Structure 1
Amino acid sequence: MLSACPDGSEAFVSCTIEDGRKSLDVCLEGDIVTYRFGEVGQPPELAMSVPVREVEFEPWPGVSRSIWEAVTFRRGDYAYEVFGGFHRETNHETEEVETEPFGGVSVRRGEERVAQLNCDPGPTGYGFSSAIYDAKVDAGQCWDNREFVWKEGRASGGLCAGR
């Protein structure tokens, strides 16, 4: 897996964009989630770090052929939704499940999408992991899978009580 995340941290998404000219990294280190975007080999054009309790994280809902998750960072009027996942298809000749990774960032100003940047084809550093989910649960939050939001409180398996 590609990763420009520091040693000891976990990559949510780590990939190149625009034919390898730009890099996109979202990393979890302890209870901090960091977004970095910019020219490869240069200091980031944009970097944001927020406590895991404050980052917006949408876990995979558990249905569809695609496994995906998203993390959203906010700065002023802008929202940076970083997504990662993979499409699963069964090869009907071999009966093996084949996966095609994807990832990128969608930038919005209010409700208007101002940019959509997709990871370059090939190895996208998205490793389906429960790291951010687990960190939010450890921080005292639970996922309400009816309202699709994180709430304060502890519950069995990280799901809010009664869900």
Structure 2
Amino acid sequence: MRTRVSIFPVFAFCIVATDVSADCAQGMIPFSSCEIVGRSTSLNICHDDFTVSYRYGTRGKVPELYLSEPIATVDYRPWDGDALIGSITFRNGAYAYEVVSGFNSEFSDEGLSHFGWVTVSYNGEELSKLECVQTSVESVYGSDVYDLKVAAGLRWDGEETGWVAVSGSN
């Protein structure tokens, strides 16, 4: 169950990460990244106009796991203006990697407090939950992936229904 907190939606569109692109392939746009607690690994989500990619491994090296899915089919759950948390799930056979990121709405001297994790499951059963080092979580909030899904003929119909095809689109 998610706790919903109302803040002015404009805050989310003002948060832009600066170093997220460090491990995006050339031509890819950063979406989210973090270092994993207790490991010397990182997680990076990047996209272009057609695909979203998941990279997990040691920064600067060949990733231990690289997954890529079309924008139109990737399971992306945007925050809706009330919730301060969003997710994107990548599938690899019976495995699923749900990357969650968000921020606390309370401002401090350091700004917003980000958080995140990746939940790894097999056939729907959770195998592990890897927490992000809080100070390393970087997310680009805005409408890139959302707008690309809309351009692919989809519309967000809320958390219960998810993405649905727009009438008259392919």
TM over 0.5: yes
Unaligned runs of 5+ in 2: 1-17
**Rounded Cα–Cα distance in structure 1 between residues aligned with 2:78 and 2:33:** 18
What's 2:34 paired with?
Answer: 15
**Rounded Cα–Cα distance in structure 2 between residues aligned with 1:123 and 1:18:** 10
How does the TM-score come out when normalised to structure 2? 0.78
**What CA deviation, in whole Å up to 9, does each residue of 1:97-125 have, x standing for no partner?**
94101122111112321111121121311
**Rounded Cα–Cα distance in structure 2 between residues aligned with 1:20 and 1:31:** 31
Kindly indicate whether residue 152 of structure 2 is the aligned counterpart of residue 139 of structure 1.
yes
1:73-112 equivalences in 2 (<5 Å)? 73-90=90-107, 98-112=111-125
What's 1:49 paired with?
Answer: 68
Once superposed, which parts of structure 1, at least 4 consecutive aligned residues long, lie more than 4 Å away?
none
**Rounded Cα–Cα distance in structure 2 between residues aligned with 1:103 and 1:46:** 18
Q: CA deviation at 1:144?
A: 1.0
Q: CA deviation at 1:126?
A: 0.8
Are the equivalent residues in 2 in contact too, given 1:77–1:110 (CA < 8 A)? yes
Q: CA deviation at 1:61?
A: 2.5
**What CA deviation, in whole Å up to 9, does each residue of 1:45-91 have, x standing for no partner?**
11011110110000113224xx1210001111111001111111156
Partner-residue secondary structure (3-state), 2:139? coil
Partner-residue secondary structure (3-state), 1:136? helix
More strand by share: 1
Are the equivalent residues in 1 in contact too, given 2:107–2:113 (CA < 8 A)? no
Change (3 A) 1:119 1:154: farther
Change (3 A) 1:146 1:76: closer
Partner-residue secondary structure (3-state), 2:112? strand
Unaligned runs of 5+ in 1: 156-163
- Point out the more displaced range, 11-20 or 39-48: 11-20
What's 2:13 paired with?
Answer: none
